[in-house]
Amino acid sequence: MGLKIGFIGLGIMGKPMSKNLLKAGYELIVCDVTKAAVDEVVAAGANRAASPREVAAQTEVIITMLPNSPQVRQVVLGENGLIEAAKAGSVLIDMSSIAPLVSREIAASLAEKGIEMLDAPVSGGEPKAIDATLSIMVGGKKVVYNRLHPVLKAMAASVVLVGDIGAGNVAKLANQIIVALNIAAVSEALVLAAKAGVEPELVYQAIRGGLAGSTVLDAKAPLMLERKFNPGFRIGLHIKDLTNVLETSHELGVPLPLTAAVMEMLQALKADGLAGADHGALVQYYEKLAKVTLAPLA
């Protein structure tokens, strides 16, 4: 493809995303704190780097997929960070989900050295990261977005430029509100059905084709019924995202009462030791209150 890309952050999402870039024909240099993850992607055809600085020294485009704002700041601006070696004209695509204000602060620091930035968080979880059908919401300059659109499309079914730098993360905050509230609604509905003595799986089948049907319902209800709570997206990460949502909403003076309520439910699950479970485990909060457990058909 004639474009050398760096990829930093090979977790649940980053690892399959990086592999899809390799499948698309891009030359890739990867870096992560977990050696096993790096080894796996190197075995798929990537080259390794020992630090973010080393990644930046060898590439024109650097993608970061990291847990939160502090990690992105450290990788980009910290010791041995990207900023120490990135060349003027190179581009950082931060695909982490972080606070919009932090995206703008990092972009401003990079701009002083002539380095461009897009904030491009994703939605879809691990399954869509694996099959390259993620939704990507992008903030940044249109000319930079247009140039790197093919790179983003190698990992996604939908890529939309929503505004200037930081706008991608604003869109992601909106996404995370809707996902969290939808999971809570699915949980409430299925637990009600179970407590009323009606088979929850049949209720799911009955309502999924109507107005209550949604991507969240189809993605999470079967897993709730099958008691599969291994993480596609961890409760701890959704807490992180809703923390960014509520901090941003407080700064803007936007009350979000439903989001705040779901945040407390997730915090209760974290206190019960479920921070590493999939956010679909939110159903367990309702099960505990109602003293009932969903079960699949025999």
Q: Which residues are part of the catalytic machinery?
A: 172
Question: What's the distance, CA 128 to chain centroid?
Answer: 11
β-strands 122-123, 4-8: how paired? unpaired
CB-CB neighbours of 248 under 10 Å: 17
Q: 162 in helix, strand or coil?
A: strand
Q: What is the DSSP letter of 230?
A: S
Residue found by looking up tokens 């209760």 in the block: 268
Handedness of CA 268, 263, 101, 21 (dihedral sign): positive
Residue 111 has which token pair?
């701009």
At 101, which amino acid appears?
A: L
Note every long-range contact of 17-25, with CB atoms under 8 Å and residues 24 or more positions apart, other chains counting.
17/63, 17/65, 17/95, 17/122, 17/129, 17/134, 17/155, 18/46, 18/63, 19/44, 20/129, 20/132, 20/154, 20/155, 21/151, 21/154, 21/155, 22/46, 23/132, 23/154, 24/154, 25/1
Distance CA 183, CA 120 (A): 24
